[in-house]
Structure 1
């Protein structure tokens, strides 16, 4: 009976310590930016962009990688959505992070991507890995949506079909 009580006490102690560690500010993870960021990113078109350049439009940012089969299977939809975005109240931006999370080098990625012949998709390179850290990207693909005022609206890790993306963009203000 004594062993049972000691076991219960240790279990409760573990539960209390675990709860304190999880909810303690010292253990809390850093907050992601709540708006479009100002980091400079190189586009595959050779231009320099900032996500904040797109303030005033709804922004759909797709974080992806060349090794991600789901990402690759959705590239045609992303390219078509990018094409249709011309003249609309939203913009489609994709972000890759060369040399981070298993992605190939920037030069290898550029060469590989040009062979795919997607002509409407804006691809930005997060070479320092700042955006994937800032927005907590842990899985590919990850979709990040911003309202017209530049404020973060939603982060969605994992696959989203085109219909869901369009529905989310329509619902944003």
Structure 2
């Protein structure tokens, strides 16, 4: 019986842990996504074209997300051949509204953590984000390589980003 539970667990991990979203190119499709920075200025993901990009979707109510924020901030401040961006979706899935989120986040003192707001949830929906945290990996051409639900440590993120051509 234990053998069958183990096989079932591996099957579930394979089906959820190695999720690949629909074909997407952030350079070509970025006009479809209204993202704002914390100054509520519009940001185009196409500005990142030519660079590999790691995106972490997170929420203020997610203890795993909050526990990993300092690590993601450290990753963002390190010298890598990829960009690090985090995205929050205000007013969705129990998240604070935009103003409340910005006020809350500014109180954390995480000035090196790049945060964008996906106010209408269009990017999260396009990438099939179903839970938090979720990571998305893009190559330098802006092509989506992989979407991975769950927490990843910085070594795993860096290793995967280094494997992307």
TM-score over 0.5 (shorter chain) = yes
Coarse TM-score class (shorter-chain normalised): 0.7 to 0.9
SS in structure 2 of the partner of residue 153 of structure 1: strand
Q: TM (normalized to structure 2)?
A: 0.81
SS in structure 1 of the partner of residue 123 of structure 2: helix
Distance 1:109 1:32 in 2: 29
Distance 1:32 1:68 in 2: 26
Q: Aligned-pair distance for 1:149?
A: 0.8
Does 2:67 correspond to 1:73? yes
Q: Which residue of 1 aligns with 2:149?
A: 157
Q: Which residue of 2 aligns with 1:117?
A: 109
Structure 2 stretches of 5 or more lacking a match?
1-20
Runs of 4+ in 1 over 3 A off after TM superposition: none
Does 2:130 correspond to 1:138? yes
Q: TM (normalized to structure 1)?
A: 0.78
Contact 1:141–1:157 (8 Å) recurs in 2? yes
Structure 1 stretches of 5 or more lacking a match?
1-30
Contact 1:33–1:134 (8 Å) recurs in 2? no
Q: Which residue of 1 aligns with 2:25?
A: 35
Contact 2:34–2:120 (8 Å) recurs in 1? no
Structure with larger RCO (C-alpha < 8 A, sep 6+): 2
Distance 2:37 2:121 in 1: 15
Does 2:43 correspond to 1:53? no
